[in-house]
Amino acid sequence: MALVSQNDATRKTSLSRYLDPKILNRVDKLELGAKAVVEGFMAGSHRSPYHGFSVEFAQHREYAFGDDPRHLDWKLYAKAGRYFIKQYEVETNFVAHILHDASESMLYGSAKAPVKKLEYANFLTAALAYLIVRQTDAVGVGVFNEGLARYIEAKQSFAHIHRICHELENTTPSKKTDTGAIMHEFADRIKRRGIVVLVSDLLDTPEHILDGLNHLRFARHEVLVFHIMDPYELEFPFDGLIKFEGLEGYEDVLCQPRMLRKSYLEALNKHILSVKAACERNRVDYVLINTAQPLEIALTSFLQSRALARVRR
């Protein structure tokens, strides 16, 4: 009688196209480790403010290849016919919350990018969720626009990834972005120190973004920001007379882009530098991702640089 391996568990959740094997194979040997002190249920690879072990039962999770068989719940196996591990009060590494932007502006996609910004963000969120669960941590996802549209409670199981992917597949962007408000909400919602990952095109004022970052960092959460941008948004290569379709409540505009290119790029660079500076002041990891770049390359590069930063500490 063989125990269920991690690969078997992964195959059960591989029905979603967002769990792209090309991406997962590149990041499979990497980790999204916490650089700061976090609070979770398990004393593991991340620094915890707690010491020692508690005997208070917290939850079950599915057995993953490499788990200590001594923690198997045989009574639950007799009932369910599946293997589960007992977890106790200080027995999970950390809880990560991914804040996923589903505002109307995320629908933009140019001919230079293989997918729209929302699709790229979906692949990124799915890959991060897989990575976090694979390293035996818990992940939750908040889908937002002007407010929180849907929230998937944090859990640690490969079946949970399938639910996250299902929600992403059924996400229809609408309304404006209020990135600052969603960060304030989660700073109040999350009671334990952990990791908060923001995946967004950040079409909000830098002041609102800064206020939200300040609140999360004041609550002592570690924060990561993935800034998703289309190459046409970064380069503004348009020419001739073009009608721009308004998103998030703005009207359509008919204009000659050549006359606007310089001022647009100046305003964009100012916005990016303001957001980046706010992240640096708050010790927040900031990553600008061009959707023309393959996700597996962008994500691998970030994870490797983050791992190197942890070693240097």
3-class secondary structure per residue, the chain? CCCCCHHHHHHHCCCCCCCCHHHHHHHCCCCCCCCCCCCCCECCCCCCCCCCCCCCEEEEEECCCCCCHHHECHHHHHHHCCCEEEEECCECCCEEEEEEECCHHHHCCCCCCCCCHHHHHHHHHHHHHHHHHHCCCEEEEEEECCCEEEEEEEECCHHHHHHHHHHHHCCCCCCCCCHHHHHHHHHHHCCCCCEEEEEECCCCCHHHHHHHHHHHHHCCCEEEEEEEECHHHHHCCCCCCEEECCCCCCCCEEECHHHHHHHHHHHHHHHHHHHHHHHHHCCCEEEEEECCCCHHHHHHHHHHHHHHHHHHC
Can you read off the two tokens belonging to residue 33? 């480790």
35-44, 71-80, 95-104, 252-261: range with lowest mean pLDDT: 35-44
**Residue 213 pLDDT more than 70?**
yes
What's the rounded Cα separation, in Å, for the pair 182 and 148? 7
The pLDDT of residue 9 is 40
Average pLDDT, integer, range 225-253: 78
The pLDDT of residue 66 is 65
Percent of the chain having pLDDT more than 70?
77
Confidence class for position 198, pLDDT limits 50, 70, 90: very high
The pLDDT of residue 58 is 61
The pLDDT of residue 136 is 83
Its pTM stands at 0.76
| Four-way CATH pick for 95-312: 3.40.50.720, 3.40.190.290, 3.40.190.10, 3.40.50.410 | 3.40.50.410
Residue 269, phi-psi category: left (phi > 0), alpha (psi -120 to 50), beta (remainder): alpha
When the pLDDT of each residue in the chain is averaged and rounded to a whole number, the result is: 81
What's the rounded Cα separation, in Å, for the pair 222 and 38? 8
Over residues 19-73, the pLDDT tens digits come to 888 888 887 777 776 554 334 433 344 444 433 334 456 677 787 766 778 778 8
What's the rounded Cα separation, in Å, for the pair 232 and 256? 15
Do 179 and 101 touch, CB atoms closer than 8 A? yes
Percent of the chain having pLDDT more than 90?
44
Q: Regarding predicted confidence, which is higher, 271 or 88?
A: 271
The pLDDT of residue 111 is 93
Q: Regarding predicted confidence, which is higher, 309 or 39?
A: 309
Confidence class for position 78, pLDDT limits 50, 70, 90: confident
The pLDDT of residue 192 is 82
- Residue 224's nearest CA partner among 95, 98, 41 is 98
Over residues 149-194, the pLDDT tens digits come to 999 999 988 889 999 999 999 988 887 888 999 999 999 988 888 8
Average pLDDT, integer, range 2-18: 49
